[in-house]
């Protein structure tokens, strides 16, 4: 018998720890399972456009919106659970090459000073973990040092969502199932999916923009052989589930396209 804390979604009872963070709108039966640093800003803008038939006024600030979406996780209000069940949305998410995702997170959250939400973490890393984040820092050494800290974490669930393994963000090893998982590198599949919900020219324009792109440094300045080894260790399950090639940033072939990535079905809009 489910406990008092159980959450019922689409007639299935879950405990909160079994569920990912899910965003959904008010009109279209579509929900996005949040996966940070894997085109999440693009995905939220797509979700907004699908529900409103126009773009969000400030695409890169959509995460700050208090009104654009309903959200499940980490809190579950009865009203939002009811809204989800009434809408009965299909779920989708986007995954990204683990090495490129890690580099994007390091550059935007750790190695640059532009995200004030991460200033305390940067202070911790440079003051207590000996990671040079100064303007004179060697990018490859600093990136490797951070990867070593990440790799030493015992509780991977406690890792910040921008660096947490993607299969944990998607709750892939539990009972919850994301209906459609797209790989960011498979642009044709992403465009095809967006076009199920938007006019094709709107989908193309949305995907062609630089929404949520990480500005700044050339990524090859951060990469070393040891870094690649650590990333493959930390994100081994992500590679197993979503990719089968080396972490090169190019589109890899999923182990089982019909069950893991790309389009899982071709339902109509």
In the Cβ-directed half-sphere of 27, how many Cα atoms lie within 13 Å?
A: 10
Task: Please state, in angstroms and rounded to a whole number, the distance separating the CA atoms of residues 179 and 82.
Answer: 20
Helices and strands per DSSP (H, E), number in the chain? 10, 7
Pairwise CA distance, residues 144 & 160, whole Å: 17
Tell me whether residue 66 is exposed, middle or buried, using C-beta atoms within 10 angstroms of its C-beta: 0 to 12, 13 to 18, 19 or more: exposed
In this structure, the number of other CB atoms found within 10 A of the CB of residue 147 comes to 24
Percent of the chain that is helix, strand, coil (3-state, to 5)? 45, 10, 45
- How far is residue 57 CA from its own chain's centroid? 22
Neighbours of 25 (CB within 10 A): 21
Q: Would you state the pLDDT for residue 268?
A: 32
Averaged confidence pLDDT in the chain: 89
pLDDT above 70 covers a percentage of the chain that reads: 87
How far, in whole angstroms, is CA 128 from its chain's centroid? Answer: 28
The pLDDT confidence band at residue 215, using thresholds 50, 70 and 90, is low
Could you read off the pLDDT of 83-131 as tens digits, one per residue?
Answer: 999 999 999 999 999 999 999 999 999 999 889 999 999 999 999 999 9
The alpha-helical segments, DSSP class H, found in the chain are: 40-52, 78-87, 98-105, 119-128, 139-151, 166-169, 187-197, 200-208, 225-234, 236-242
Tens digit of each residue's pLDDT (9 = 90 or more) over 126-155: 999 999 999 999 999 999 999 999 999 999
pLDDT tens-place string over residues 18-27: 999 999 999 9
| Structural domain boundaries in the chain | 7-242
What predicted TM-score, i.e. pTM, was given to this entire model? 0.88
Here the tokens at position 203 are 């989908």
The two three-digit tokens of residue 32, written as one number: 């996005």
């Amino acid at each position: 018998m489910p406990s008092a804390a159980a959450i019922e979604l689409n007639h299935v009872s879950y405990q909160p720890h079994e569920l990912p963070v899910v965003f959904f709108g008010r009109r279209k039966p579509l929900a996005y399972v949040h996966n940070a640093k894997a085109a999440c800003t693009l995905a939220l803008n797509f979700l907004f456009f699908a529900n409103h038939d126009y773009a969000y006024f400030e695409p890169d600030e959509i995460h700050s919106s208090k009104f654009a979406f309903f959200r499940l996780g980490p809190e579950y209000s009865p009203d939002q659970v009811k809204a989800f069940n009434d809408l009965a949305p299909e779920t989708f998410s986007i995954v990204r090459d683990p090495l490129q995702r890690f580099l994007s997170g390091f550059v935007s959250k750790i190695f640059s000073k532009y995200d004030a939400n991460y200033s305390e973490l940067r202070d911790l890393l440079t003051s207590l973990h000996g990671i040079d984040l100064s303007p004179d820092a060697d990018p490859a050494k600093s990136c490797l040092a951070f990867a070593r800290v990440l790799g030493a974490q015992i509780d991977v669930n406690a890792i910040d969502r921008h660096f947490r393994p993607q299969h944990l963000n998607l709750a892939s090893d539990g009972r919850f199932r994301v209906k459609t998982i797209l790989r960011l590198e498979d642009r044709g599949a992403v465009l095809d999916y967006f076009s199920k919900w938007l006019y094709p020219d709107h989908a193309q324009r949305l995907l062609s923009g630089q929404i949520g792109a990480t500005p700044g440094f050339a990524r090859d300045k951060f990469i070393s052989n040891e870094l690649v080894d650590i990333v493959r260790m930390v994100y081994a399950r992500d590679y197993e589930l979503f990719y089968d090639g080396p972490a090169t940033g190019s589109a890899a072939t999923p182990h089982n396209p019909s069950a893991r990535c790309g389009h899982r079905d071709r339902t109509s809009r």
